[in-house]
Structure 1
């Protein structure tokens, strides 16, 4: 159906009401990131200034996002629409618990990666605009998490794509250019499909505002809406690296510097996963119901095949890339079981993966730096030479597999509970719950096998393939001051992951609230001022 409302039809109270001061906090993180990126671009020739400026800007963003998250938890979703063109005409930023918490986690890992990145940077490297592109990437990711408009989501995807493309080619090595082509082609194709689905959606509904879509989508033609939902699932699934369109991730993420790989692993696929969660469960739940069997099959295939790829891989960062893909399967499992536990599990897994996958790539980069190798067959001897590094890698493997009491255990527990409830239900398709629970357990076991294999090759044996004791290899490279800074940054993030896993109560409560707002978006719609308006 079309939306034929005009501004004259909207209540004057809506038009004349000033935006409350508390709502401005939602736009500040994006403004700071964009202005910081522009400012650092001008300062890039001043040695030391870019990293200091970037750290100050990101600390300011973190402070704003903490305030935003506290506001959302206390009073419900927060919305701000640009100018007086109120929804559904204006561009809205709307934050609920999921969006605010994901934005905060993204800013935290960006701050840590900025410190970690100094391991590979010389004083003259400030001229390459690295810090500007990192802030631009953070702006795109934050905008995607906080936007309340699907077309604006497309814009933030483009911002993210531009920044990530610039980061992946920094250095200009042939392998990086090859990876950029693979990464760029699939992501440009996904963006094109997303834009096509937006055109169809606007033609059907006359609006792209998320809150407005929630109100009017139930009145549209179900078959047409299911087609749009399938296009969105394809586009966002490609960006999230879901099976079978995931080959671009392990083919590209290992080529740039370890800091860039860590940033990509923590942020990029999670934006695609979040977009799937928001669009299919919150915006188009009736269409999601029709696509549920397909979602379940994709989730099962992603969960099982990804760790098998990690087991077969010898390049360390390529193997970690397959573990990133396996996590996307866990998010999709929650989408295929849209109960409170299922959606909460998906949201918590996104939060966990932002932190854990960033830390895992950071530790992988330190291993490559210490051994001067990228192939695990050429590594070894780190158990005796670098005990802290071996502990960090071991803890992160356990967290990735979902072993208690680490952070990854809690979202998988919620997903397994949702699957058991789905499988025991007397109505619906019980095979979906049983299949997803089985796939989640298989994924945990295979991830442990892959991680144990990597750990034994890298840390337990003394040197390159063929040696079998735990004595230190004589070929290891010692860390300098920058290396110790990077190790400290990795340890800080890993300790944070372990601490949250040991004290999950506040986070579990928050994701339950966020999942409830996804399943029943009444508070989200009310925050935009559209509650009670007729379709």
Structure 2
């Protein structure tokens, strides 16, 4: 019965969304219900993290159909750490939305759609069935379509069309990739797929497995924003309101990253001649192009969106190395990036509420009126760049050490240099927008302290995550176990 609890991160937002759908006009009640269910989701996720740390991986066979014949949900440490981090971001975005999203959007079931999106996000993390991963991806994407278009502004509608078309193509390729894999392997259970691919042992089907691996890379790379599939991301992510952008930037791309981490460590870890080097090369190019984009603009939103691409490249480069050290760094950095990106977008939301703009060419001297906001932005910049002892440092250090140990000196140097360029891209807008004489019209009547609350929460967690990285190491190491050694995951699913 205890294993049934692995469904809590899916069922809590699902029932919360259903309840919110019958309260479309009662905005204050919607806010209360959304916050309650978000807190419940966080508490349930935190409980599962401690339970799995003590008792090992949780698995649940839906309908009592034994693996590999039924749908299996797998709550390993990696999935639950990401579910918990997602719930933290959700809580902060919900609180921030009270003061920024606007009542017209709230009346159109904004909070219900957010919780439905969390069903897709958490389901993607927890599923042990590759077709079920597709299903949860679609739940997540359908919710994101609604969030992207809600409000109906021209820029949102234009971005939604592009986003919709790209993801429809990606979903079609996903189905084709699953069908090809099933035709060769004869199973959809992820643990069973791993066993049967390993059993091929260089037979004739191994070439087609490489084709399927590249197709999965195309599908998940499209979701994550990996080169050359990132072209849709800057325009689509620029369009929605800040709370939605914080959710997208903090969570959606990370689901694609997680899918690559899970499938490549479980299915394709033996394809070191072509597929893994291809992932590494594409990741490095993504970092370089993200740096070029970030350095080219003075718009805060655009710069942080391009910094999403840099982080995606850094994480996936470390995944391509498939070493324990690099994977540990990847998981550390992934959790850090989810938190710090959400914090940065919320800070930018406050800047826009005060100044009316996201481009620092339109204002300056914000430090003179809101010094706490300026220093919060500065701390977030340092965290994003990986300045010790903040949260980005330890993960990036492990990634660089892992790349040097694997002989990937150029990749490690590029990852190091990316930190410098990340810092430069945001310091230039900090000095221009926050320092200097006061220019522009500032709206100081916003509920500033209430809007700062979720920012302070996220930044505090980010600082603690960096300072207390040694306390987190046992949990991260447990998460990495199933990535480095597929038998850990397989034995948990088949209860061997």
Residue-by-residue CA offset, 1:388-446 (whole Å, 9 max, x unaligned): 111111111111111111101111011011011111xxxxxxxxx11210110121111
Residue in structure 1 matched with residue 95 of structure 2 by the alignment: 115
Residue-by-residue CA offset, 1:451-488 (whole Å, 9 max, x unaligned): 111111211133xxxxxxxxx3461111433x321112
**Structure 1 regions of 5+ residues with no counterpart?**
1-20, 424-432, 463-471
The reply to whether residue 183 of structure 1 matches residue 163 of structure 2 is: yes
Greater Cα offset, 509-518 or 79-88: 509-518
Q: Distance in 2 between matches of 1:337 and 1:411?
A: 15
Q: Could you say what secondary structure the match of 2:69 adopts?
A: coil
Residue in structure 1 matched with residue 294 of structure 2 by the alignment: 310
Alignment map for 1:401-412 (pairs within 5 Å):
401-412=385-396
Q: Distance in 2 between matches of 1:390 and 1:377?
A: 16
Q: How far did 1:124 drift?
A: 5.6
Alignment map for 1:85-104 (pairs within 5 Å):
85-104=65-84
The reply to whether residue 227 of structure 1 matches residue 207 of structure 2 is: no
The reply to whether residue 265 of structure 1 matches residue 265 of structure 2 is: no
Alignment map for 1:516-531 (pairs within 5 Å):
516-529=481-494, 531=496
Q: Which residue among 212, 232, 235 is the counterpart of 2:192?
A: 212
Q: How far did 1:311 drift?
A: 1.2
Residue in structure 1 matched with residue 380 of structure 2 by the alignment: 396
Residue-by-residue CA offset, 1:501-521 (whole Å, 9 max, x unaligned): 111112222212211221112
Q: How far did 1:306 drift?
A: 0.3
Q: Distance in 2 between matches of 1:336 and 1:477?
A: 47
Aligned CA RMSD, in angstroms, stands at 1.4
Q: How far did 1:530 drift?
A: 5.5
The reply to whether residue 343 of structure 1 matches residue 290 of structure 2 is: no
Q: Which residue among 275, 281, 285 is the counterpart of 1:291?
A: 275
Q: Could you say what secondary structure the match of 2:361 adopts?
A: helix
Alignment map for 1:7-26 (pairs within 5 Å):
21-26=1-6
Q: Distance in 2 between matches of 1:173 and 1:121?
A: 13
Q: How far did 1:382 drift?
A: 0.7
Partners of 2:265 and 2:486 within 8 A in 1 = no
Q: Which residue among 343, 356, 367 is the counterpart of 1:383?
A: 367
Residue-by-residue CA offset, 1:322-365 (whole Å, 9 max, x unaligned): 00110001111111211101111111121111111111111111
Partners of 1:87 and 1:530 within 8 A in 2 = no
Alignment map for 1:461-480 (pairs within 5 Å):
461-462=436-437, 472-473=438-439, 475-480=441-446
Q: Which residue among 35, 39, 52 is the counterpart of 1:55?
A: 35
Q: Could you say what secondary structure the match of 1:93 adopts?
A: strand
Q: Could you say what secondary structure the match of 1:80 adopts?
A: strand
Q: Which residue among 454, 458, 473 is the counterpart of 1:493?
A: 458
Q: Distance in 2 between matches of 1:505 and 1:285?
A: 28
Aligned residues: 492
Greater Cα offset, 195-204 or 67-76: 67-76
Partners of 2:362 and 2:440 within 8 A in 1 = no
Partners of 1:194 and 1:231 within 8 A in 2 = yes
Q: Distance in 1 between matches of 2:271 and 2:14?
A: 36
Partners of 1:229 and 1:288 within 8 A in 2 = no
Partners of 1:48 and 1:126 within 8 A in 2 = no
Alignment map for 1:344-363 (pairs within 5 Å):
344-363=328-347
The reply to whether residue 73 of structure 1 matches residue 53 of structure 2 is: yes
Q: Could you say what secondary structure the match of 1:376 adopts?
A: coil
Q: Could you say what secondary structure the match of 1:94 adopts?
A: strand
Residue in structure 2 matched with residue 14 of structure 1 by the alignment: none
Q: How far did 1:132 drift?
A: 0.3
Q: Distance in 2 between matches of 1:187 and 1:501?
A: 35
Structure having the higher Rg: 1
Residue-by-residue CA offset, 1:58-87 (whole Å, 9 max, x unaligned): 111111111111121112211001012111
Q: How far did 1:376 drift?
A: 2.0
Q: How far did 1:292 drift?
A: 2.2
Partners of 1:263 and 1:358 within 8 A in 2 = yes
Greater Cα offset, 123-132 or 50-59: 123-132
Q: Could you say what secondary structure the match of 2:65 adopts?
A: coil
Q: How far did 1:122 drift?
A: 4.3
Partners of 1:239 and 1:272 within 8 A in 2 = yes
Q: 1:113 and 1:193, CA in 2 relative to 1: closer, same or farther beyond 3 A?
A: same
Q: Distance in 2 between matches of 1:62 and 1:307?
A: 34
Q: 1:440 and 1:122, CA in 2 relative to 1: closer, same or farther beyond 3 A?
A: closer
Residue-by-residue CA offset, 1:19-52 (whole Å, 9 max, x unaligned): xx22111101211111111110111211301110
The reply to whether residue 45 of structure 1 matches residue 25 of structure 2 is: yes
Residue in structure 2 matched with residue 444 of structure 1 by the alignment: 419
Residue-by-residue CA offset, 1:351-385 (whole Å, 9 max, x unaligned): 11111111111111111111111222102111111
Q: Could you say what secondary structure the match of 2:315 adopts?
A: helix
Residue in structure 2 matched with residue 327 of structure 1 by the alignment: 311
Q: Distance in 2 between matches of 1:294 and 1:521?
A: 21
Q: 1:170 and 1:522, CA in 2 relative to 1: closer, same or farther beyond 3 A?
A: same
